[in-house]
Amino acid sequence: MLVLGTAVPHTVPVTVGIVLLGGGYGLHLVLDEPALDARAALVGAGLLLVAELANWSIELRREVTREAGRSMRRLAAELVLCVGGLLVAALVLAAADLGRVGGIAIELAGAAAAVALVWITVVTLRPASSP
């Protein structure tokens, strides 16, 4: 489906291909019943990268003119997006693993998350300084 989507070019087969790949991995997790699959973050980031690159290839066919350096900026943005997704997914997996453990580790993680939430709120709501 991914090949069809990039060959046609149309985004629907690309989306269906990504859903099938992710669904196949999800089905594997349901049938195999692993305790916690640490590869899930890598699979998610890989699916995101494949989807972004496939859709980008479709967009490139529709462009008439390209400005200099745009492709490198877009590639950098795509990689940052995928690495960010990988880090967030790894954080969620680590939090889920901490939830199984319990004890002082989970208490410290909860306190650190509360402090981080207050800090983010203060930074976000702080009025911007006028030039």
Closest by CA position to 50, among listed 90, 95, 20: 20
Residue 96, domain member (yes or no):
yes
Residue 127, domain member (yes or no):
no
Residue 33 pLDDT level (bands cut at 50, 70, 90): confident
Domain of residue 76 covers 2-101
Residue 6, domain member (yes or no):
yes
Percent of the chain past pLDDT 70, that is, above it, reads 89
Better-predicted residue by pLDDT, 129 or 24: 24
pLDDT mean over 60-87: 82
Closest by CA position to 59, among listed 71, 49, 68, 46: 71
Distance from CA of residue 112 to its chain's centroid? 23
How many domains would you assign to the chain? Answer: 1
Residue 128, domain member (yes or no):
no
Average pLDDT, the chain: 80
Residue 61, domain member (yes or no):
yes
Closest by CA position to 2, among listed 19, 27, 25, 24: 19
Residue 97, domain member (yes or no):
yes
Predicted pLDDT at 129: 58
CA distance 64 to 42: 35
Question: Can you give the pTM of this predicted structure?
Answer: 0.66
